[in-house]
């Protein structure tokens, strides 16, 4: 990577992922998946491995001088590092996605996205101007009713378009890291004997084949009737496509990236705003999908990366990830 600061940040993320991979591999899965009697800020039951994973990232990331602050799905609010006051990057991450799959030995993974502040921290005029412009625009035409909190906009982040790098690390039969920037999306596999991530596939682009569709179809009783989504699923079934749903978003999205197909997690009557979290799951996967030639939209057809940075750190969102062929079919319905 040509940006030395991003390189340093990725080194810290890699180090965290390796430590987490070793922890997951070396501990009893039933111990890791035991609940710790608490609910996190996203209202999910917290498992021991969620806490362990979060602690690992929290202990390693502050050591990188380019990181101004971080927030994870397990945190109530962001942590800012006083020693890195003038740093320009902010990281949102899901320390271990799919953690409910740990006890049955199914792939889980860490997901992250790195925002670069549009303006340096000392440029308050620009930051205020930017914030006010966004606020006016929202008041005029925002159908999503997202209100901007001054706190989150103090450094000028507007939306997912301010992400400069995103990726995930899979903990499965192999430990694999996917890193995506506007320039390139590359997949690396961890080599236990060298202790390094080695390049497996460079310059990934999305396969234009659709052997599978991927959705939790068990929730079809909660879907909105006669929607574009239900019509699309009927089409998949009529065509005899195979259904795949691992139940770890990170593994389901990875399959679509490597073997083709889509990933669909729509809103429903139980989760009218969607189920997955915008900052920790939805933005990063959308950034990756766009970079490799795919499309990422909400179920009312808004490009996800255009959705304003959330007022609530744990805001949920619907997410539909398509390759071009699937997208065209969906839009024609
Ligand atoms: P998990 O709670 O195990 O972390 O992040 C939420 C998530 O997993 C996703 O990885 C996964 O796609 C989804 O939950 C599965 O939830 P449902 O079984 O309710 O669809």
What digits encode the pLDDT tens for the residues 33-43? 999 877 776 66
Rounded Cα distance, 193 and 132, in Å: 53
The pLDDT value recorded for residue 318 is: 98
Report residue 248: phi and psi, to 5°. Answer: -120, 115
Q: Please report the pLDDT score of residue 294 as a whole number.
A: 98
Q: Rounded mean pLDDT of 137-144?
A: 44
**Any atom of ligand 1 within 6 Å of the Cβ of 108:** no
Residues 302 and 194: their CA atoms lie apart, in Å, by 44
Q: Is the CB of 98 under 6 A from ligand 1?
A: yes
Q: Is the CB of 271 under 6 A from ligand 1?
A: no
Supply the DSSP string of 227-285, one letter for each residue.
Answer: -HHHHHHHHHHHTTPEE---S-HHHHHHHHHHH---EEE---SS-TT-SEEIIIIIHHH
Q: Please state the atom number of ligand 1 nearest to the C-alpha of residue 277.
A: 5
Give the model's confidence band at 151: pLDDT under 50 very low, under 70 low, under 90 confident, else very high: very low
pLDDT in the model for residue 45? 83
Between the alpha carbon of residue 116 and those of residues 101, 155, 164, the distances in Å are 32, 9, 6
Q: Is 121 helix (H, G, I), strand (E, B) or coil?
A: coil
Is there an atom of ligand 1 within 6 Å of 247 CB? Answer: yes
Q: What is the pLDDT of residues 51-93, one digit of tens each?
A: 999 999 999 999 999 999 999 999 999 999 999 988 999 999 9
Ligand 1 atom at minimal distance to the Cα of residue 73: 5
How close is the Cα of 98 to the center of ligand 1, in Å? 6
Cβ of 290 below 6 Å from ligand 1: no
* C-beta of 210 in contact with ligand 1 (< 6 A): no
Q: What is the pLDDT of residues 109-127, one digit of tens each?
A: 999 999 998 866 545 555 5
């Amino acid at each position: 990577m040509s940006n030395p600061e991003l390189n340093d940040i990725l080194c810290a993320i890699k180090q965290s992922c390796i430590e987490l991979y070793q922890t997951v591999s070396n501990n009893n899965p039933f111990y890791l998946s035991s609940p710790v009697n608490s609910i996190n800020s996203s209202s999910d039951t917290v498992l021991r491995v969620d806490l362990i994973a979060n602690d690992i990232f929290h202990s390693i990331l502050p050591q990188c001088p380019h990181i101004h602050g971080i927030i994870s799905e397990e945190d109530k609010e962001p942590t800012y590092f006083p020693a890195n006051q003038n740093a320009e990057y902010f990281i949102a991450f899901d320390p271990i996605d799919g953690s409910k799959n740990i006890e049955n030995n199914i792939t889980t993974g860490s997901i992250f996205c790195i925002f670069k502040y549009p303006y340096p921290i000392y440029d308050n005029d620009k930051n205020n101007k930017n914030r006010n412009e966004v606020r006016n625009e929202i008041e005029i035409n925002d159908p999503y009713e997202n209100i901007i909190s001054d706190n989150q906009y103090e450094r000028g982040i507007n939306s997912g378009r301010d992400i400069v790098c995103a990726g995930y690390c899979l903990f499965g039969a192999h430990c694999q890291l996917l890193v995506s920037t506007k320039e390139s999306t590359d997949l690396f596999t961890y080599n236990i004997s060298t202790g390094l991530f080695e390049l497996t596939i460079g310059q990934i682009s999305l396969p234009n084949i659709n052997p599978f569709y991927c959705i939790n179809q068990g929730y079809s009783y909660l879907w909105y009737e006669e929607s574009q989504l239900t019509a699309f699923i009927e089409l998949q079934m009529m065509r005899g496509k195979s259904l795949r749903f691992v139940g770890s978003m990170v593994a389901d999205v990875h399959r679509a990236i490597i073997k083709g197909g889509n990933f669909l997690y729509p809103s429903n009557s139980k989760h009218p705003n969607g189920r997955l979290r915008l900052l920790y799951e939805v933005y990063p996967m959308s950034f990756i999908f766009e970079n490799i030639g795919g499309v990422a939209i909400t179920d009312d057809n808004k490009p996800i990366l255009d959705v304003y940075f959330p007022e609530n750190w744990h805001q949920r969102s619907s997410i539909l990830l398509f390759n071009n062929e699937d997208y065209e079919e969906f839009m024609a319905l």
